A = this chain, B = another copy of it.
């Protein structure tokens, strides 16, 4: 069975995905009878490329790393064009793999990419929290209407199944709430603060290690956790919320004192995300909590 894919976004996640697809080629053929072909790649700053016979992702990654645009196009965003072309493919399976960076203000342009994919009759898989955090209800309904899948398991808790956990293994369960740590940068910073490291030094280490978001406020002000909380609440509890509606308090220089004080009586400060169903709707929050 032939599957044609369009990669919208081609940063670390998109490139690693393309490599995995290549490494697992034999396994996909054997276990799933799948012959996957990357028909197009689009980027924000490095142009786009499309070839119905298949694009070589390793060559594309090499061009970007060398500072060259992907093709002879003008370097603009060809995402909608490669989605349009994918929809005309004769493949049995057409999948748009969306891996652009989260926009915390409105989840764009990821929502528009996913919407365009679903409208064109392609399955949409996104690693971006935006679509589920800002527009789950609309996109889920659209996918059902077009008979395609809208999937986003990797958007929250990376490789750990959480959306599928509920969807596939707990069909008879009504989720009344959830509570947990869902941002790793702040979690590492809080541990470092307990050990006496300064906030700035701990954050700098997280950035060097590639764990922190490029914009640190997404992590330390709780925006990343709020986007994940909104996505979880929308999907698992049918809330209709957004990251902006999540009650949110981040961590900062002042948290060091709190973390050390908690440590002194055997407790810990963690940035806890939570949601619970109330008579007034689903109430969500992200805030430092002593545990």
Which chain A residues have a beta carbon within 8 Å of chain B's beta carbons? 161, 164-165, 168-170
* A–B complex contacts, Cβ < 8 Å, 10 sampled: A161-B165, A161-B169, A161-B170, A164-B168, A164-B169, A165-B165, A165-B169, A168-B168, A168-B169, A169-B169
On chain B, the residues within 8 Å of A164 by CB distance are 168-169
CB nearest neighbor in B for A163? B169
Give Cα A165 to B170, complex, Å. 10
Give Cα A169 to B170, complex, Å. 11
Question: Which secondary structure characterizes the binding site on chain A?
Answer: helix
Beyond known contacts A161-B170, A165-B165, A169-B169: 7 more, CB 8 A cutoff? A161-B165, A161-B169, A164-B168, A164-B169, A165-B169, A168-B168, A168-B169
A161 to chain B, nearest CB (A): 4
On chain B, the residues within 8 Å of A168 by CB distance are 164, 168-169
Give Cα A168 to B168, complex, Å. 6
Give Cα A37 to B170, complex, Å. 23
A94 to chain B, nearest CB (A): 20
On chain B, the residues within 8 Å of A161 by CB distance are 165, 169-170
With most chain B CB atoms within 10 A of its CB, the pick from A164, A168, A169, A170 is A169
A202 to chain B, nearest CB (A): 25
Give Cα A168 to B170, complex, Å. 11
Give Cα A161 to B165, complex, Å. 8
A163 to chain B, nearest CB (A): 9
Give Cα A170 to B168, complex, Å. 11
CB nearest neighbor in B for A20? B172
CB nearest neighbor in B for A170? B161
Which 9 pairs between the two chains have the least Cβ-Cβ distance?
A161-B169, A168-B168, A164-B169, A168-B169, A165-B169, A161-B170, A169-B169, A165-B165, A164-B168
Give Cα A169 to B164, complex, Å. 6
Give Cα A231 to B165, complex, Å. 21
Give Cα A161 to B169, complex, Å. 6
On chain B, the residues within 8 Å of A170 by CB distance are 161
